[in-house]
Amino acid sequence: MRPPARARVTTILRAAAGALSLLAALGAAGSSPAATLVINVQTPDGHVLPGAVVTVRPLDGAPRKPAPVHAIIDQVNRAFEPDLLVIPVGSTVEFPNSDSVSHQIYSFSPARRFQLPLYRGKPYPAVHFDQGGVITLGCNIHDEMLAYLLVTDAAYFGRTDRAGGWSADVPRGRYRVGIWHPRLRESEADLERELTVGDTDRADLTLRLAKSLEPAPITDRPHSWDY
């Protein structure tokens, strides 16, 4: 004998409520509470350092690898745009030439050596970067052209803004923070720091250089790392 309609509805509602409670519990168990990590970079005299690269690597749990991207570095007015780019390991970069003159782009850096024959307009196939490191870009025709490509396996990365700061939302845990800048006198290892993102909603770290920056290698035009 079938139960009354009202009883059947009550049973269905209870089952649905139980399923929703189970899903909520599973979601809560699988999520990790996040907090805002704020990094500030300063020169030895306490001035802010814009344009510095910040890398953050978790020290707890399985390493988080960012997905590769397809990026573009153009050539305009005999300069690279952008002149400093940070990408994950495994990414590709296309080098179009939107300039009015031809260029011959190259890199002699150990992390990725390559040379694109003299061209203008339509780019060659994108270059694949499967190894981490700093890559210096130049042009065989125009010595004043200079750019940097930093390939990283860090879980979180970015560049400091005009106020010398960078931030990201990260799960609570322990992290190793490093910085890089084209004019650093210090090694990256000397600038690494560890910190713990705990129960608060925000964790702050200020990194101050111990040595002044190297002189700018090219002074006839501004760069994004020279403010």
Say what the pLDDT of residue 32 is.
56
Which residues does residue 146 pair with via DSSP β-bridges, in sequence order?
Answer: 138
Per-residue pLDDT tens over the stretch 122-143: 888 999 999 999 999 999 999 8
Least confident of 104-118, 146-160, 213-227: 213-227
Say what the pLDDT of residue 219 is.
72
More confident residue, 8 or 214: 214
Say what the pLDDT of residue 24 is.
36
Sheet arrangement for strand 114-115: 84-88, 146-152, 133-139, 105-107, 114-115
Per-residue pLDDT tens over the stretch 139-158: 999 989 999 999 999 999 99
Q: How does the average pLDDT of the chain come out, rounded?
A: 85
More confident residue, 38 or 219: 38
Which residues does residue 91 pair with via DSSP β-bridges, in sequence order?
Answer: 129
Neighbours of 71 (CB within 10 A): 18
Q: Which of 107, 108, 116, 121 is closest to 76 using CA atoms?
A: 121
Say what the pLDDT of residue 48 is.
96
Say what the pLDDT of residue 88 is.
98
Say what the pLDDT of residue 133 is.
95
